[in-house]
């Protein structure tokens, strides 16, 4: 059998960071140990029943068994606009300012290919979602990293970026609420971002994946709420986290018309849109009762309280996340991110994601997903306490 060589383009793709973590967890589990896996970002709750029923009804319609319009059904675009106006006070044109996506990740990976040419520069947060780098590699563009530091509330400081690099940059990724740090963005920061992007003719791509998950009564802010944001950027939204629809692969991008047009043009050549029954169910999620979202946020806030209070009670000085379903924890002295994650897995059978997997400035931290029950989180705290690292 012939062994065909991968293309040079595929060889430039970054290694999947989480693959090694999964392998380690699987190895420990294969030895018969009960691992509490807090290292992943996969929502653990089922999709709300009314959304599932909407899919079931829609799947029985013969019309939905045919190809849908290339750029998605108008009713889903209108539902996305209604959602944004209701939740964020942002008015959008469904005909020109909305693109339907096969999940948020697809849009994030596609966008550099839509707007950049080989050799162009894109600004990427560090630490940040690793798959931004997949889109960078596929577009054959250069990466410049923006440090997210605790002393600046994990927001990039534009005044400290290299001026020459900034002059070359044509796109910037942002993500608030933030993965992995759990930080939120302020109105003032987004205003600075608009000024900065306009000054340098740079497209802002705001990843709003955790846009519904804020704590302590604070609702996460949409970038498009900022005056002038649509002039220079777009926002990518996914139903994965808000409605526990991660496996459904449905999301949308909203904002600048020229960016939406480019995104839809590329997708014309890649797909023939989503299964229409999923589009109907997505519209149901966006338009009908949001009680399920409020209940979900309350669940995550309860888990945050149990876990963070538990860690503090055993002497680990940790900071509670402001939003998202992640906690970003400093590792104890004497450990690196990787060595601490390995220690917890091998000695306490608790899996966390080492911060260095999210970038250079993630070193010294681990990421925890609040994606299991309060009882399991309490058990994780007990196992960590038994290691006597904080006494």
Model confidence over 134-153: pLDDT tens digits? Answer: 999 999 999 999 999 999 99
Residues 356 and 304 in one domain: yes
Q: How would residue 87 be classed by pLDDT, with cut points 50, 70 and 90?
A: very high
Total domains present in the chain: 2
In SS3 terms, the chain reads as: CCCCCCCHHHHCCCCCHHHHHHHHHHHHHHCCCCCEECCCCCCCCCCCHHHHHHHHHHHCCHHHHCCCCCCCCHHHHHHHHHHHHHHHCCCCCCCCCEEEECCHHHHHHHHHHHHCCCCCEEEEEECCCCCHHHHHHHHCCEEEEEECCHHHCCCCCHHHCCHHHHHHEEEEEEECCCCCCCCCCCHHHHHHHHHHHHHCCCEEEEECCCCCCECCCCCCCCHHHCCCHHHHEEEEEEHHHHCCCHHHCCEEEEECHHHHHHHHHHHHHHCCCCCHHHHHHHHHHHHCCCHHHHHHHHHHHHHHHHHHHHHHHCCCCCCCCCECCEEEEECCCCCCHHHHHHHHHHHHCEECEEHHHHCHHHCCEEEEECCCCHHHHHHHHHHHHCCCCCC
Residues 87 and 234 in one domain: yes
Specify the pLDDT at position 186: 97
Residues 174 and 70 in one domain: yes
- Residue that terminates a domain, selected from 287, 307, 340: 287
Residues 95 and 187 in one domain: yes
- Answer whether 0.85 is exceeded by the pTM: yes
117: containing domain:
49-287
Percentage above 70 pLDDT, the chain = 100
Residues 264 and 311 in one domain: no
CATH assignment at residue 352: 3.90.1150.10
- Residue that terminates a domain, selected from 258, 287, 316: 287
Among the residue ranges 13-27, 73-87, 305-319, the one predicted with the least confidence is 13-27
Question: Does residue 139 fall inside a structural domain?
Answer: yes
Q: Would you say residue 211 has pLDDT above 80?
A: yes
């Amino acid at each position: 059998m012939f062994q065909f060589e991968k293309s040079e383009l595929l060889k430039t793709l970054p290694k999947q960071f989480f693959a090694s973590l999964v392998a380690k967890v699987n190895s420990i589990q294969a030895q018969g140990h009960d691992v509490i896996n807090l290292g992943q970002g996969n929502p653990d709750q089922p999709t709300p029943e009314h959304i599932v029923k909407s899919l079931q009804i829609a799947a029985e319609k013969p019309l939905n068994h045919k190809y849908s319009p290339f750029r998605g059904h108008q009713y889903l675009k209108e539902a996305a606009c209604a959602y944004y106006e209701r939740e964020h006070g942002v008015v959008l044109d469904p005909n020109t300012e909305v693109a339907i996506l096969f999940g948020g990740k697809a849009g994030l990976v596609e966008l550099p290919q839509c707007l950049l040419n080989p050799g162009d520069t894109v600004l990427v947060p560090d630490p940040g979602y690793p798959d931004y780098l997949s889109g960078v590699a596929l577009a054959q563009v250069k990466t410049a990293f923006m440090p997210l530091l605790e002393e600046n509330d994990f927001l990039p400081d534009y005044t400290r970026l290299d001026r020459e690099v900034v002059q070359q940059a044509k796109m910037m990724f942002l993500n608030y609420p933030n993965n992995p740090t759990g930080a939120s963005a302020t109105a003032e920061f987004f205003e600075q971002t608009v000024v900065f992007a306009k000054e340098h003719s740079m497209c802002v791509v705001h990843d709003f994946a955790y846009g519904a998950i804020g704590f302590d009564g604070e609702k996460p802010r949409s970038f498009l709420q900022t005056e002038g944001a649509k002039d220079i950027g777009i926002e990518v939204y996914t139903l994965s986290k808000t409605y526990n629809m991660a496996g459904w692969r449905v999301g949308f991008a909203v904002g600048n018309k020229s960016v939406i047009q480019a995104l839809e043009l590329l997708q014309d050549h890649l797909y023939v849109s989503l299964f229409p029954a999923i589009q109907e169910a997505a519209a149901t999620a966006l338009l009908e009762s949001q009680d399920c979202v409020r209940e979900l946020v309350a669940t995550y806030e309860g888990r945050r309280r149990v876990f963070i209070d538990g860690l503090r009670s055993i002497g680990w000085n940790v900071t509670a996340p402001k939003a998202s379903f992640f906690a970003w924890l400093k590792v104890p002295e004497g450990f690196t991110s990787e060595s601490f994650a390995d220690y917890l897995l091998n000695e306490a059978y608790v899996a966390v994601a080492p911060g260095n997997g999210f970038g250079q400035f993630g070193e010294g931290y681990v990421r925890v997903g609040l994606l299991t029950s309060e009882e399991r989180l309490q058990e994780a705290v007990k196992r960590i306490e038994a290691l006597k690292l904080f006494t």
